[in-house]
């Protein structure tokens, strides 16, 4: 990747009072407010790190148009006392989300050199709050391909380059883990915010359905797609989420801002699964999940087992919907199938064979799936499940190790996540410790529709009591 600095601009390295790579989004904004750093200095430093990086390599595809000018404007606003809530906060953008004047490709040869003519709604809202779209980040093709993208290559996990970051927000997970950016946008259709958050040891929220607008985002499945924030802490999500919402939500803003001051969990009721979410899960992942539950109990939560839930049928329904809607979007391109990623092509061929009646029945059963979880949550506030069944999967075999057995990606990656895309419930993924190979594992906190702030409340309190989210990849040399 080459830099996009104008030829007449020279940025000379300057010693910084604040190490940009070591701070999260909240602390970066505090550094601006304290005068320890300016947005111009921060973004220039991150730019240099990205150009020289050997951990998040391949995650950043290109820099967004106009980031230098935006940084200068933000610095002027801080100096004049006119800073907006997210003034000067750089963020990465998954390459299916439009950024005005910037090449946006959806990771596909089919899109050519498409320059977005306007910002996606979520990007525009973040700009209004002062945040700066900084770089376009790698994705699998149309958010549905294999790890080995035919146009831009493969993104390795910063903790171990032989492992995957998890799809399809693959670049977003990698830049956060590599400490190259404090905040990124991802999308989630079967788990694509939460999977890379789990495998990269970061924190990501799949919001309640339609909380964040999908306008200006390349569609995969119009009934499952969600847009959401990916950061290094739940605290950071609480800071940025209100300014991403599709419409101004006073209660959401107030609720999230309150969480930044206090996240008391006394009396919170947590439900834990006894089937499906705990099956096909490595013993170390389960141990870390149980340890996380003990932490939550020590913070004042009560824990109650859920009834046995028949999740499998609804999980399969989610895939029926995704593949059918993928086919509706992409089947017209089949005459040029040689341009497709092989993983996407396999899914597309599956999708075109699904009967309309099967698709319709899957949609009909969605209400039953939602009711199943709402009934199970009658006397509890949140669900807490293990994240993915194992540590980051191997890129050479496309398998995940579960108790010594190599399990194909497709059996693990969406198993604990798809159901909450299908039902539209908010779900927060955050680190729970390290697994047997020394790679991150995760837990998932799930709420009723609209309870995004409550999920974040539990996540913030958990991270205040633990340090798993502070684990970073070891420094490597070229």
108 included as an active-site residue: no
C-alpha angle 199/350/336, rounded to 5°? Answer: 95
Catalytic entry in 172, 192, 197, 233: 192
Residue 12's pLDDT is 36
Q: Considering the chain, what is the average pLDDT of its residues?
A: 94
pLDDT, mean of residues 17-45: 94
Catalytic entry in 65, 74, 94, 221: 94
Q: Is residue 476 part of a domain?
A: no
Q: Is 70 exceeded by the pLDDT of residue 184?
A: yes
Q: Is residue 131 part of a domain?
A: yes
CA atoms within 13 A on the CB side of 260: 16
Catalytic entry in 146, 168, 324, 432: 168
Name the residue range of residue 146's domain: 20-312+364-470
What's the domain count of the chain?
1
Q: Is residue 460 part of a domain?
A: yes
pLDDT, mean of residues 215-238: 98
Q: Is residue 342 part of a domain?
A: no
CA atoms within 13 A on the CB side of 148: 9
Q: Is residue 75 part of a domain?
A: yes
414 included as an active-site residue: no
**What percent of the chain has a predicted confidence (pLDDT) above 90?**
90
Q: Is residue 378 part of a domain?
A: yes
CATH code for the domain of 271: 3.90.1300.10
pLDDT, mean of residues 472-476: 80
Which is nearest to 62 in space by CA: 98, 122, 102, 113?
Answer: 102
pLDDT, mean of residues 196-220: 98
Confidence tier at 17 by pLDDT (50, 70, 90): low
pTM of the model: 0.95
Confidence tier at 259 by pLDDT (50, 70, 90): confident
pLDDT digits (tens, 9 = 90+) for 355-404: 999 999 999 999 999 999 999 999 999 999 999 999 999 999 999 999 99
Q: Is residue 428 part of a domain?
A: yes
Residue 77's pLDDT is 98
pLDDT digits (tens, 9 = 90+) for 320-344: 999 999 999 999 999 999 999 999 9
192 included as an active-site residue: yes
Q: Is residue 65 part of a domain?
A: yes
Residue 168's pLDDT is 97
Query: Measured in whole angstroms, how far is the alpha carbon of residue 235 from the centre of its chain?
Result: 15
15: left (phi over 0), alpha (psi -120 to 50) or beta: beta
């Amino acid at each position: 990747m080459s830099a996009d600095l104008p030829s007449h601009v020279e940025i000379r390295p300057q010693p910084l009072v604040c190490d940009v790579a070591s701070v999260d989004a909240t602390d970066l904004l505090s550094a601006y407010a304290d005068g320890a750093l300016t947005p111009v200095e921060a973004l220039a430093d991150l730019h240099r790190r990205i150009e020289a990086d050997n951990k998040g390599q391949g995650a950043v595809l290109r820099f967004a148009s106009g980031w230098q000018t935006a940084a200068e404007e933000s610095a002027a606003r801080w100096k004049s006392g006119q800073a907006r809530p997210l003034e000067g906060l750089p963020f990465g953008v998954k390459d299916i989300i439009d950024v005005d004047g910037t090449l946006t490709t959806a990771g596909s040869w089919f899109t050519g050199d498409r320059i977005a003519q306007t910002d996606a709604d979520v990007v525009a809202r973040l700009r209004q709050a002062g945040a700066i779209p900084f770089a376009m980040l790698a994705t699998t093709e149309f958010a549905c391909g294999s790890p080995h993208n035919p146009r831009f290559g493969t993104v390795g996990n910063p903790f171990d380059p032989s492992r995957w970051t998890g799809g399809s927000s693959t670049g977003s997970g990698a830049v956060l883990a590599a400490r190259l950016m404090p905040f990124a946008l991802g999308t989630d259709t079967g788990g694509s915010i939460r999977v890379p958050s789990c495998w990269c040891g970061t924190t990501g929220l799949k919001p309640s359905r339609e909380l964040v607008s999908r306008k200006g985002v390349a569609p995969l499945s119009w009934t499952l797609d969600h847009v959401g924030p990916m950061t290094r802490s739940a605290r950071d999500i609480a800071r940025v989420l209100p300014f991403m919402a599709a419409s101004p939500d006073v209660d959401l803003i107030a609720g999230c801002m309150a969480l930044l001051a206090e996240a008391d969990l006394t009396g919170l009721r947590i439900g834990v699964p006894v089937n499906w979410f705990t099956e096909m899960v490595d013993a170390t992942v389960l141990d870390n999940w149980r340890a996380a539950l003990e932490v939550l109990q020590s913070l004042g939560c009560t824990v109650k087992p859920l009834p046995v839930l028949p999740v499998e049928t609804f999980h399969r329904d989610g895939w029926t919907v995704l593949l059918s809607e993928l086919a509706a979007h992409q089947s017209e391109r089949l005459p040029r199938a040689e341009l497709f990623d092989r993983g996407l092509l396999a899914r597309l061929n599956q999708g075109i064979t699904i009967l309309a009646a099967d698709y319709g029945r899957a949609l009909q059963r969605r209400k039953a799936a939602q009711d199943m979880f709402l009934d199970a949550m009658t006397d509890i506030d949140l669900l807490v499940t293990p994240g993915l069944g194992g540590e980051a999967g191997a890129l050479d075999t496309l398998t995940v190790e579960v108790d010594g057995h190599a399990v194909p990606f497709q059996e693990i990656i969406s198993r604990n996540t798809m159901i909450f895309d299908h039902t539209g419930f908010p779900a927060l993924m955050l680190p729970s410790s390290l697994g047997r190979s020394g790679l991150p594992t995760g837990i998932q906190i799930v709420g009723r529709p609209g309870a995004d702030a409550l999920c974040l409340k539990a996540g913030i309190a958990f991270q205040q009591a633990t340090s798993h989210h502070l684990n970073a990849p070891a420094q490597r040399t070229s």
